[in-house]
Amino acid sequence: MEKLNIHLNDINKNDTRSFHDIIKFSRQMINKKYNDFKNSDEIQKGVKKCMSTIYDNRKDNAIIMAKNIINDDDIEEYRI
């Protein structure tokens, strides 16, 4: 989460298209959310649960994609 906070702040700092007040407000919200995460076990548990769900879904999709890949023996048939 620290790394995410750093990247979000970098993105925010490099924003040249938004109004100054919006950039300032978004920086405050990024840091508030990060501090809330660090200081609350409940928020940490919720974030971990969300992240686990996302990774599990990605894993399932990766397995399906891997099963659909042509294996090396099948590729030989298509070579010139």
Q: For residue range 15-60, list pLDDT tens digits in order.
A: 989 899 999 999 999 999 999 999 999 999 999 999 999 999 899 8
One domain, residues 45 and 80: yes
Structurally, the chain folds into a number of domains equal to 2
Q: CA angle, corner 29, sides to 58 and 38, nearest 5?
A: 65
One domain, residues 72 and 45: yes
- Domain hosting 49: range is 41-80
Cα 8 to Cα 22: distance, rounded to the nearest angstrom: 14
pTM of the model: 0.65
